[in-house]
Structure 1
Amino acid sequence: MDNRSKNKLVYTVKDRCKVCYTCVRECPAKAIRIVNGQAEIIENRCIACGNCVKVCSRQAKMYSFAIDRVKKLVQGPHKVAAIIAPSIAAEFIDIPDYQVLVGMIRTLGFEYVNEVAFGAELVANQYKKLLHKDQKHPYISTSCPAIVSYVEKHHPQVVQSLAPIVSPMIAIAKVLQKMHGEDLKIVFIGPCIAKKGEADLQQFKGLVHEVISFVELRRMFDEKKFDYDQIVPSEFDPPLAGKGSVFPISGGMLQTVDLEEDFLSGEVVVAEGRQDITEVLKEFEEGYLEAKLFDLLCCNGCLNGPGMSNHNQFFYKRKNISNFAKRQFDRLEQKKWEKSIEKYSKLDLERYFIADDQRYAEDFSLEDIQKVKKKLGINCQEDELNCTACGYDTCHEHAIAILKGIAETEMCLPYTIDKLHEYIKELDVSNSKLASTQAALKQSEKLASMGQLAAGIAHEVNNPLGVVIMYAHLLLDEVEPDSPYYKDLKLIVDQADRCKKIVGGLLNFARKSKVNIGEVNIRKLIKNSMKAFVMPPEIDLKIEINTNESALACDHDQMVQVFSNLIKNAVDAMPNGGELAVIVDEDKHNPNEVVFTIKDTGTGISAENMERMFEPFFTTKEDGKGTGLGLPIIYGIVKMHKGNIKVESNNNPEKGPTGTSFFVSLPKNTED
């Protein structure tokens, strides 16, 4: 069993992650799971392709740096060689003279600076031999360690198709140790994160000691603060490369050994990038695709690797690679190169692979998947938008990922938007209830303070008023009806009696009397409320009881006071006659409440007066006809029953029929 690297190659900086799901979408291995709103890398599934590093604009996905270890290595007792990937020409476009670049690398402490491209040429020749030797066996190229890891972990059934040939990095490392001895320390410098994992494999132990990216190399350059005028230009150390410099370009291996991607024969398939390689391997595994060689590269060639500092200008970088390869080939001494190829082609460039099946068991029933889809609001195939916002190509894949435990429902954008709308509606309801409660509390506090004032006034006035009433009645009884004093005394008696009613109203308003709850028949309650006065003949009365509830838990006497006052007010609002409706309904929004509606077709109430309806002593009736305490008392009684009262009115004929409706909502049971 091969020992894998135990170091985390790629990791998440949680403070930077905004959970945009871009990394989930771009990961070919689906090695990123969302847990509690955080994107976490599943190490066992990760192939270190670095796609997540490239696409994360927040730099929340990072890879492990080896700068400090490389510094210690070059300061140590052993000679150190830097082996440079040919894609360096696409990275250091700002340093057009590659010999200056080689000189800078030497200045960092490297004894040798070699081209990985020579190893690529050795490897390409091995592929040529392999394909001629076994023309029926299909092979997958193994120069890209991310591709190798992807096949081992996610397509283990085709591991036997991986070409048993080392990568150019390992090939050149073997060449250099053959040249300079096994004590030589080697550092690979390139655009690839997966190379860090490849170098750690047990079968390559002692060949490549450290791996750094071009980004890390630039950082080392920055720390040195080079004066370019002081750099001594230098050539790469032998063995020098020829066509191998085009290896990082898609199809570069084929060009290196003069093979062609023949579209007519279909013997060679070249694919690059996340979407193409996953589709090619899937079709190959399922038997739909046949070819002698599948030349696969994970990063659109090695020009866009995660270790590059610039992921733009792809074609410009490709052109720079081509120009660099041409310059290298033009300066090449052909015979010396052929001699080197012949000498080192005898090295053992074989390797082995181990299936490391990290696929999830696909044992979810259709019923389980449908349950998840239903939770996401997907009830039929038309509801499957496949918008990919969640990071998965289809809603079906997302549902399976949820069942696997690597995704969450909140990743679905339409689902989240629907939930957000629901939360907004719930919040609106909560805000309305809060506003209503605050208004009720404010009104209660206002009524309480006014009630204390009213009680004080009533008690002070009540005693002297009683004396006035008593003597006024005595005087009225002593005079004859035809006496000139009779009308005056009668007026005094009437007004004194009115004052008595006002004082009584004040005391009722101020008194926090207890509610005597009992079972009250609804029809009987309405009937008793109508007995408080005589209904004028010009009023058309209509009573509707639309509830199955026959009884209500309330204080009978207090509720009679409420409804008789409301009905009397409605009658007073229709001096010329009209329609009066008393309706009892079930509350549509709260099944535990009953709503009493008192509706008239009277003159209506103006908007400015609506705001003051429940203020004590406020009345719209003529002087001497209203105390302004009826509605405040009604409000208090309803609140003591844990109910609500609201009013709707229109006094403008242009806006529709005039009239007023009072709605009294009472709980069927007032117990807590």
Structure 2
Amino acid sequence: MHGRVFTIEKKCTACNKCIEVCPVDMANRVYRSLDRKRRIAVNSKYCISCGACIKACDHGARDYTDDTGRFFMDLAMGDPIHLLVAPAAKVNFSDFPRLLGWLKSMGVANIYDVSFGADISTWAYLKARQELSLSSVIAQPCSSVVNFCERYMPELLPSLAPIQSPLICMAIYLRLEKQLEGKIAFLSPCIAKTDEIGDQNTGKLVSYNITFDKLKRKLAEMHVQLDQYPETGFDGMQPGIGHVYSRPGGLGETIRVTNKDLWIRQIDSVRRVYPYLKEYYQRQTKQLPVPDIVDILNCTGGCNCGTGTEQKIPMDDIDYKTNIYKKEQLANQVTEKDHGTIYKIEQYFDSCLDWHDYRREYSSKKIENSRFTDEDLDDVFYKLRKNTVESRNRNCHACGYGSCKRLAQAIKLGINMADSCIEYERSGLLHDTLTPLLNHAGLESALEQAMWMYHTNQLTNLAILMLDVDDFKLVNDSFGHDVGDEALKAVAGSISKNISSNDSAGRWGGDEFMVILPNTALEGAQKIA
């Protein structure tokens, strides 16, 4: 049984791109499959369903589950199901009105526009900000952001907006104000919405998360020709400009209809969002200025390019369509008066709704990430043949982490392997299998290089030490080879501690060791020996 996001093992090449893009170190686990090949699995306990690995994988080795199959099975059984549609659907389905017509023909009851729920969210944000005297809030229509805060930064939970997402606001409105009965499904651009609808703090009002991508696959599987179905619109009231929520900065656009002076920080994309949340908290703790509202979305391009979409639509096409509808709605909904802006939909909310009905709470689900000290990691670095400060800070990106220490942490935790380190793999050809020193081939290579540098006058002196362990055969014969191995390791450790990073040392064979000392005269070599 796999989790929300999972690995298709036969397609995984362990290229480490999933590790590179993941904002959570613990969410990927390297292992060997039955064919002894390296693979990378998703650790569901730690995954926040950000979807970055799915987008990054060139091999199609990452996929996800949603509720599309279960939705159509229940629909076929005759269950009354209503559909709430994310505003991003309008730009992700070229024949969107006929898609709604097909869904109706399949037995879907009413179909509602979640843009209306976005309008409720904005209105409730402003009410909560005023009545609760909130100086700064992090908007939370994004489920991956909520997952991250609840699991990894619960100290930010007081800063998350105390209002439900547009989806849940829409569901609450329909249940409370319209007494809607029956199950509710969500046509969604987001993998992580499955986590949201299953959260006890959202009331579990929605039963299905049907992503755009999986629905498109279903249409192809069923050979549906949408041009054979009638165009159908939404049920219920017309929204304001809540449809702009689906693009970066959309929340800010809705707020500025009536509140033009708020400081709104817009930020999107996995690479920027999660580092920013840490920066935001640091500024809070230092009592530095933070935005009035952080309009934050996990996906580059916002929900229109969400994790459950094909992510193929040009941004200019998205903005063009969004702007046309926004212009139409502003003309219908907004009137400028001398005493201020009148926004019809907010007037309706003021007269008919209680913002407290749309409040949300959060639960800390804190995951303790083990963090080891440099001393704790010495044994891992020894295994990786990283015995100098320089080698422990090489920080290449081949392993995916971009940090030798992060890789060492993962190996210590048992979720990665030494051969994920490319330097370890390369050095394995030249390093002794028992000690951290060079092997015979490695010494020959180092000696050849040193001799070339000496003969080309790049070195003023060159000294070579040859050492062996006295009575080593007697040690092996008397105490066994395991003790002999420990003796060799001890000698190697002593050699490593007494030479510089410019020197080379290795095991020539058996109990014989060689030390190569560039720019070291006879007196210096004797002292080291």
> Normalising by the residue count of structure 1, what TM-score does the alignment of the two structures yield?
0.57
Paired residue type of 1:21:
N
Equivalent residue number for residue 51 of structure 2: 50
Kept after mapping to 1: 8 A contact 2:381/2:387: yes
Work out the CA distance in 2 between the residues paired with 1:39 and 1:344.
Answer: 52
How many Å apart are 1:35 and its aligned residue? 2.7
Paired residue type of 2:5:
V
Paired residue type of 2:45:
N
Paired residue type of 1:275:
R
Of 118-127 and 234-243, deviating more is 234-243
How many Å apart are 1:275 and its aligned residue? 2.0
Paired residue type of 1:56:
C
Paired residue type of 1:269:
R
Equivalent residue number for residue 59 of structure 1: 60
Kept after mapping to 1: 8 A contact 2:99/2:226: no
Higher relative contact order (CA 8 A, sep 6+): 2
Work out the CA distance in 2 between the residues paired with 1:129 and 1:195.
Answer: 25
Equivalent residue number for residue 322 of structure 2: 321
How many Å apart are 1:194 and its aligned residue? 0.7
**Equivalent residue of 1:52, what SS?**
helix
Paired residue type of 2:419:
E
**Equivalent residue of 2:210, what SS?**
strand
Q: 1:8 aligns with which of 3, 14, 20?
A: 3
Kept after mapping to 1: 8 A contact 2:142/2:296: yes
Work out the CA distance in 1 between the residues paired with 2:122 and 2:56.
Answer: 31
Q: Is the aligned partner of 1:269 residue 2:265?
A: yes
Kept after mapping to 1: 8 A contact 2:164/2:202: no
Residues 285 and 73 of structure 1, relative CA distance in 2, 3 Å threshold: same
How many Å apart are 1:144 and its aligned residue? 0.7
Q: Is the aligned partner of 1:197 residue 2:205?
A: no
Work out the CA distance in 2 between the residues paired with 1:328 and 1:236.
Answer: 15
Aligned pairs for 1:153-552 (under 5 A) are 153-178=151-176, 180-258=178-256, 267-286=263-282, 287=285, 290-300=290-300, 301-311=302-312, 313-326=314-327, 337=345, 340-342=348-350, 345-346=353-354, 348-362=357-371, 364-383=372-391, 384-419=393-428
Work out the CA distance in 1 between the residues paired with 2:347 and 2:79.
Answer: 28
Residues 225 and 325 of structure 1, relative CA distance in 2, 3 Å threshold: farther
Paired residue type of 1:100:
R
Kept after mapping to 1: 8 A contact 2:128/2:162: no
**Equivalent residue of 2:83, what SS?**
strand
**Equivalent residue of 2:246, what SS?**
coil
Q: Is the aligned partner of 1:23 residue 2:32?
A: no
How many Å apart are 1:311 and its aligned residue? 4.4
How many Å apart are 1:188 and its aligned residue? 0.3
How many Å apart are 1:247 and its aligned residue? 0.2
Give 5+ residue unaligned stretches, structure 1. 1-5, 430-587, 594-672
Residues 377 and 271 of structure 1, relative CA distance in 2, 3 Å threshold: farther
**Equivalent residue of 2:267, what SS?**
strand
How many Å apart are 1:392 and its aligned residue? 1.3
Work out the CA distance in 1 between the residues paired with 2:10 and 2:91.
Answer: 32
How many Å apart are 1:428 and its aligned residue? 9.9
Kept after mapping to 2: 8 A contact 1:239/1:340: no
Residues 177 and 260 of structure 1, relative CA distance in 2, 3 Å threshold: closer
> How many residues in Structure 1 have an aligned counterpart in Structure 2?
425
Work out the CA distance in 2 between the residues paired with 1:591 and 1:112.
Answer: 80
Kept after mapping to 1: 8 A contact 2:7/2:62: yes
Of 274-283 and 327-336, deviating more is 327-336
Residues 62 and 591 of structure 1, relative CA distance in 2, 3 Å threshold: closer
Q: Which deviations, in whole Å up to 9, do the C-alpha atoms of 1:227-264 show, x marking residues without a partner?
A: 444321122111222210100111111111217999xx
**Equivalent residue of 1:247, what SS?**
helix
Work out the CA distance in 1 between the residues paired with 2:91 and 2:429.
Answer: 46
Work out the CA distance in 1 between the residues paired with 2:363 and 2:293.
Answer: 20
How many Å apart are 1:153 and its aligned residue? 0.4
Kept after mapping to 2: 8 A contact 1:13/1:62: yes
Work out the CA distance in 1 between the residues paired with 2:61 and 2:155.
Answer: 34
Equivalent residue number for residue 481 of structure 1: none
Q: Which deviations, in whole Å up to 9, do the C-alpha atoms of 1:174-228 show, x marking residues without a partner?
A: 1222355353211101110110111112233451011110012212322443344
Work out the CA distance in 1 between the residues paired with 2:313 and 2:382.
Answer: 41
Q: Is the aligned partner of 1:82 residue 2:80?
A: no
Q: Is the aligned partner of 1:34 residue 2:30?
A: yes
**Equivalent residue of 1:366, what SS?**
coil
Of 369-378 and 25-34, deviating more is 369-378
Kept after mapping to 1: 8 A contact 2:240/2:329: yes
Paired residue type of 1:400:
Q
How many Å apart are 1:278 and its aligned residue? 1.6
Work out the CA distance in 1 between the residues paired with 2:172 and 2:271.
Answer: 34
Work out the CA distance in 1 between the residues paired with 2:317 and 2:173.
Answer: 32
How many Å apart are 1:112 and its aligned residue? 1.4
Structure with larger Rg: 1
Kept after mapping to 2: 8 A contact 1:119/1:169: yes
Work out the CA distance in 1 between the residues paired with 2:323 and 2:49.
Answer: 27
**Equivalent residue of 1:270, what SS?**
strand
Aligned pairs for 1:593-608 (under 5 A) are none
Residues 327 and 108 of structure 1, relative CA distance in 2, 3 Å threshold: farther
Kept after mapping to 2: 8 A contact 1:303/1:318: no
Kept after mapping to 2: 8 A contact 1:90/1:320: yes
Paired residue type of 2:367:
Q
Work out the CA distance in 1 between the residues paired with 2:377 and 2:259.
Answer: 42
Work out the CA distance in 1 between the residues paired with 2:348 and 2:99.
Answer: 24
How many Å apart are 1:318 and its aligned residue? 3.9
Residues 209 and 590 of structure 1, relative CA distance in 2, 3 Å threshold: closer
Q: Which deviations, in whole Å up to 9, do the C-alpha atoms of 1:412-467 show, x marking residues without a partner?
A: 223223335669x99999xxxxxxxxxxxxxxxxxxxxxxxxxxxxxxxxxxxxxx
How many Å apart are 1:27 and its aligned residue? 1.3
Paired residue type of 2:273:
I
Kept after mapping to 2: 8 A contact 1:241/1:329: no
**Equivalent residue of 2:280, what SS?**
helix
How many Å apart are 1:310 and its aligned residue? 2.9
How many Å apart are 1:353 and its aligned residue? 0.7
Residues 276 and 314 of structure 1, relative CA distance in 2, 3 Å threshold: same
How many Å apart are 1:356 and its aligned residue? 1.0
How many Å apart are 1:81 and its aligned residue? 1.5
**Equivalent residue of 1:186, what SS?**
strand
Q: Which deviations, in whole Å up to 9, do the C-alpha atoms of 1:252-298 show, x marking residues without a partner?
A: 11111217999xx9943222111211211112223356333222211
How many Å apart are 1:330 and its aligned residue? 5.6
Kept after mapping to 2: 8 A contact 1:105/1:113: no
Kept after mapping to 2: 8 A contact 1:273/1:299: yes
Kept after mapping to 1: 8 A contact 2:252/2:264: no
Work out the CA distance in 2 between the residues paired with 1:14 and 1:148.
Answer: 29
**Equivalent residue of 1:368, what SS?**
coil
Paired residue type of 2:88:
S
Give 5+ residue unaligned stretches, structure 2. 33-37, 336-342, 433-437, 443-506, 513-529
Residues 309 and 173 of structure 1, relative CA distance in 2, 3 Å threshold: same
Residues 372 and 327 of structure 1, relative CA distance in 2, 3 Å threshold: farther
Kept after mapping to 1: 8 A contact 2:186/2:209: yes
Paired residue type of 1:321:
T
Residues 339 and 184 of structure 1, relative CA distance in 2, 3 Å threshold: farther
Kept after mapping to 2: 8 A contact 1:48/1:146: yes
Work out the CA distance in 1 between the residues paired with 2:142 and 2:428.
Answer: 44
How many Å apart are 1:389 and its aligned residue? 2.2
Work out the CA distance in 2 between the residues paired with 1:128 and 1:315.
Answer: 30
Work out the CA distance in 2 between the residues paired with 1:272 and 1:311.
Answer: 17
